[in-house]
Structure 1
Amino acid sequence: MSTLKNKFDFKYLNTTHQFHLVDPSPWPLLASWGAFMFVTGGVLYMHKMIGGWGLFINGFILILFVMFVWWRDIVREATYEEHHTFVVQRGLRLGMILFIVSEVMFFFAFFWAFFHSSLAPVYNIGSSWPPHAILTMNTYTIPLTNTFILLSSGATVTWAHHAIILNAKRHTIIALLYTLFLAALFTYFQGLEYVSAPFNISDGIYGSCFYMATGFHGFHVFVGTIALAVSFIRIVLNHSTNTHHFGFESAIWYWHFVDVVWLFLFINIYWWGNLEPYNVPASSLM
Structure 2
Amino acid sequence: MAQEKGSYYVPHESHWPVVGTIGMFVAVLGAAALLNGLLWGTPVMFIGGAIILYMVWGWFRDVINESVSGAFGPQEDRSFRQGMAWFILSEVFFFAAFFGALFYARIYSVPWLGGEGANFFTGLLLWDGFEASWPTDGPAPRHDAFSTMGAWGLPALNTAILLTSGVTLTIAHHAIKDNNRKVLNWGLGATIALGLLFLGIQSYEYVHAYVDLNLRLDSGIYGSTFFMLTGFHGMHVILGALMLLVVFFRCLKGHFTPENHFAFEAAAWYWHFVDVVWILVFIFVYWL
TM over 0.5: yes
What is the Cα deviation at residue 44 of structure 1?
A: 8.2
What is the Cα deviation at residue 25 of structure 1?
A: 3.0
Q: Taking CA–CA contacts closer than 8 Å with sequence separation of 6 or more, which of the two structures ends up with the larger relative contact order? A: 1
Deviations 1:18-49 (A, max 9, x none): 31121233333444455555566777897979
Task: Show structure 2 runs of 5+ residues with no match.
Answer: 115-125, 138-143
What is the Cα deviation at residue 160 of structure 1?
A: 0.4
Rounded Cα–Cα distance in structure 2 between residues aligned with 1:29 and 1:246: 26
Could you tell me whether the CA contact under 8 Å between 2:3 and 2:71 is conserved in 1? no
Q: Which residue in 2 is equivalent to 1:135?
A: 147
Rounded Cα–Cα distance in structure 2 between residues aligned with 1:41 and 1:270: 30
What secondary structure, in the 3-state scheme, does the structure 2 residue paired with 1:109 have? Answer: helix
Task: Show structure 1 runs of 5+ residues with no match.
Answer: 1-10, 273-286
What secondary structure, in the 3-state scheme, does the structure 2 residue paired with 1:232 have? Answer: helix
Q: Which residue in 2 is equivalent to 1:217?
A: 233
Q: Which residue in 2 is equivalent to 1:144?
A: 156
Instruction: Return closer, same or farther for 1:234/1:270 CA change in 2, 3 Å cut-off.
Output: same
Rounded Cα–Cα distance in structure 1 between residues aligned with 2:5 and 2:76: 14
Size of the alignment, in residue pairs? 259
What is the Cα deviation at residue 60 of structure 1?
A: 4.9
What secondary structure, in the 3-state scheme, does the structure 1 residue paired with 2:272 have? Answer: helix
TM-score normalized with structure 2 length: 0.80
Could you tell me whether the CA contact under 8 Å between 2:3 and 2:72 is conserved in 1? no
Q: Which residue in 2 is equivalent to 1:77?
A: 66
Matched, 1:115 2:95: no
Rounded Cα–Cα distance in structure 2 between residues aligned with 1:152 and 1:137: 23
Deviations 1:144-163 (A, max 9, x none): 11111111100100000110
One-letter code aligned to 2:283: I
Deviations 1:68-102 (A, max 9, x none): 222211101101x1112111011111100100011
Residues 135-284 of structure 1 mapped to structure 2, 5 A cutoff: 135-197=147-209, 198=213, 199-272=215-288
Could you tell me whether the CA contact under 8 Å between 1:41 and 1:56 is conserved in 2? yes
Rounded Cα–Cα distance in structure 2 between residues aligned with 1:117 and 1:62: 36
CA RMSD of aligned residues (A): 2.8
Rounded Cα–Cα distance in structure 2 between residues aligned with 1:188 and 1:251: 21
Rounded Cα–Cα distance in structure 2 between residues aligned with 1:60 and 1:33: 10
Rounded Cα–Cα distance in structure 2 between residues aligned with 1:70 and 1:252: 20
Q: Which residue in 1 is equivalent to 2:8?
A: 19
What secondary structure, in the 3-state scheme, does the structure 2 residue paired with 1:129 have? Answer: coil
Q: Which residue in 1 is equivalent to 2:81?
A: 93
Could you tell me whether the CA contact under 8 Å between 1:18 and 1:88 is conserved in 2? no
One-letter code aligned to 1:106: F
Rounded Cα–Cα distance in structure 2 between residues aligned with 1:211 and 1:39: 17
Instruction: Return closer, same or farther for 1:33/1:223 CA change in 2, 3 Å cut-off.
Output: closer
Deviations 1:192-235 (A, max 9, x none): 11111111110010000000001100111111111111111110
What secondary structure, in the 3-state scheme, does the structure 2 residue paired with 1:201 have? Answer: coil
Rounded Cα–Cα distance in structure 2 between residues aligned with 1:41 and 1:130: 30
Instruction: Return closer, same or farther for 1:53/1:235 CA change in 2, 3 Å cut-off.
Output: same
Instruction: Return closer, same or farther for 1:62/1:183 CA change in 2, 3 Å cut-off.
Output: closer
What secondary structure, in the 3-state scheme, does the structure 2 residue paired with 1:20 have? Answer: coil
Residues 45-64 of structure 1 mapped to structure 2, 5 A cutoff: 60-64=49-53
TM-score normalized with structure 1 length: 0.81
Rounded Cα–Cα distance in structure 1 between residues aligned with 2:219 and 2:44: 33
